[in-house]
Amino acid sequence: MDKITKLRALFAKYDITGYIVPANDEYQELYNASYAKRLRYITDFTGSNGSAVIFDDTAIFYTDSRYTTQAIAQINQDIFALKDLAELYKLQSNKIIGYDPKLFSCADIAKLKHLKLKPITPNLIDEIWTEQPARTASKAWLYINEFAGINYVDKLKQICANMTTEYLLITLPECWCWLLNIRGHDVPFIPLIQGYAILTKNGKVTIFADKNSFSDNVRAKRPDVTFLSLEDIATYAVQLIGQTIAFDPQITSQYFKDILVNSKLIPAKNPIMLAKAQKNPAEIKHAIEVHMKDAVALCEFYGWLTENLDGSVTEYSAQAKLLDIRQQQTGFICPSFIPICGY
């Protein structure tokens, strides 16, 4: 039985006639871990942005113009009609469309409110993906003040000083990792730990993530942080009944709005986004130094390429060589994306 048939076979069980699959993971990241590449699994599309809507009798694949050629090459058009991603929010259908509320922001669901949507747990792709990669957790490490420029205690004070609610819900790992000066390697290209956080007005933080990620040293250096597992979120939500909680609907999944339905949710811009965008002198200094290091790596790469113009260099081997050269630079952690080499 093929994947689409297996998925459709679950529709009757959940009383739906369609299912929507986005490219992002539950942290709204497009660069995601192997287990979260659900869109790739069901469509064979390897690009970073897109969505698929599989009905009981038809299916549509959406992506943006960057990936049109790639989609034509990779998507089985006997199964999927191809459309621009902007058309997703104009979709007209009377069918009942299931979705995983962890994968859609509150803003996404609001844009699709004209459709008959039904939240479904568990994720139906996970249900049929028999060889789905296991979730793995990297070890968290502390981002030192030399590079951060501001210690985490001062960051907490900065954010808490402007809080008007009892709690702030932080669902983007990049935000709470910045706030606490913590880093990791849970996903490619972005040095972070996957998880969620809740900040109180008095500066206490609760992290929901894989507890194995945090060593005794990390825990000791963050005494005002409580580390819980992802499975503890729903139980913790009971403690927040009646409490005021600020959340950003643009980046917070519908899942949290659903489980916090008895709390007083206050829509607000995530204040950490602006705070981390304002670079301090130490961050600016090291950004300049990193660009100089990368310039040295590029010069070395161009020299190597000039000496190897015999036709043996491919786009793949070129990017591999560039990565190898960059890795030799002091302080290298990971690339921010796979180099795009073409000539």
Query: For the segment 31-64, what is each residue's pLDDT rounded down to a tens digit?
Result: 889 999 999 999 999 998 999 999 999 999 999 9
Count CB-CB contacts under 10 A for residue 309: 9
By the 8 A CB rule, do 87 and 112 touch? no
Q: What is the 3-state secondary structure (H, E, C) of 223-248?
A: CCEEEECHHHHHHHHHCCCCCEEEEC
By the 8 A CB rule, do 259 and 245 touch? no
pTM of the model: 0.92
| Per-chain mean pLDDT for the chain | 95
How many whole angstroms separate alpha carbon 156 and alpha carbon 251? Answer: 20
Q: What is the pLDDT of residues 95-130, one digit of tens each?
A: 999 999 999 999 999 999 999 999 999 999 999 999
Q: Which residues of 41-74 are buried (b: 16+ CB within 10 A; e: fewer)?
A: bbbebebbbbbbbbbeeebbbbbeeebeeebeee
Amino acid at position 244, single letter? T
pLDDT score of 342: 67
How many whole angstroms separate alpha carbon 79 and alpha carbon 76? Answer: 6
CA distances (Å), 93 to each of 5, 90, 185, in order? 21, 10, 41
By the 8 A CB rule, do 20 and 53 touch? yes
Residue 341 has pLDDT above 80, yes or no: no
